[in-house]
Every structure is written in structure tokens, then in C-alpha cells.
Amino acid sequence: QKEVEQNSGPLSVPEGAIASLNCTYSDRGSQSFFWYRQYSGKSPELIMSIYSNGDKEDGRFTAQLNKASQYVSLLIRDSQPSDSATYLCAVNTGGGNKLTFGTGTQLKVEL
């Protein structure tokens, strides 16, 4: 079973702080990694993709990938209450376009 692991949280951070969300995966051959955000009662939406080792920045979001350690993370700078959601890590584990999702980390940004 190819797995994607996330801490379920909740992760609580104060407004304006950096939120750090982590994900590990078991399939060493995985090449594509994604972060989806899911608000309560809504469907997931893609916020970041990363394919190469290192950092990828998009606005307040930075995705980090370390294939040697089989680790992918998402940093959210200047966290806002509107960032409060569940963040799902997804990894292409079987080739083709199939994604395996982690169970998600709930983030709460407090005023």
C-alpha cells in the first residue's frame, strides 16, 4: 500500500505567523506532489504543485520537496483567518494521473 501521511491536527497558529504543514510519502518513485485546500463543507481546490527538489513559492505559499527524505511541506506566511481549512497532501504514486491523498491537516488561524 503506497501511503501518504499527514498529522491530522488541528494546527493552531496566531494571525500573521507562519504555518508549517508536513507530509511524508512511502513510494520512492513518486514524481509529482500537490497541496489542496478544503474549506469545511466544500470540495478540495488545488493551491500548489511541485515536481523538483527544493522550494517553490507562490504568493504567501511555499511548497518544499525533499525526495531523498520523502518529505513535502507547505509553508503559509502571514497566516490569515481565511487560511483556516484542511490541507490535503497528494502524491502521484501509481503513474498515470492517479493521486493518493493524505488524510489532511486541519489548520486554525486565530485572531
- Site of interaction with another protein (CB under 8 A): 8, 32, 34, 36, 42-46, 49, 88, 90, 92, 96-104
Residue 32: CB minimum distance to another protein, A: 5
Choose between 78 and 103: whose C-beta lies nearer to another protein: 103
- Whole-angstrom Cα distance, residue 50 to residue 40? 25
Choose between 42 and 77: whose C-beta lies nearer to another protein: 42
Residue 107: CB minimum distance to another protein, A: 16
Residue 16: CB minimum distance to another protein, A: 30
- Whole-angstrom Cα distance, residue 49 to residue 56? 8
Per DSSP (E only), the strands in the chain are 4-5, 11-14, 19-25, 33-38, 45-50, 54-58, 61-66, 71-76, 85-92, 99-101, 105-110
Choose between 41 and 54: whose C-beta lies nearer to another protein: 41
Choose between 15 and 58: whose C-beta lies nearer to another protein: 58
- Residue 34 burial by CB count (10 A; 0-12/13-18/19+): exposed, middle or buried? buried
Residue 14: CB minimum distance to another protein, A: 27
Residue indicated by cell numbers 494546527 = 11
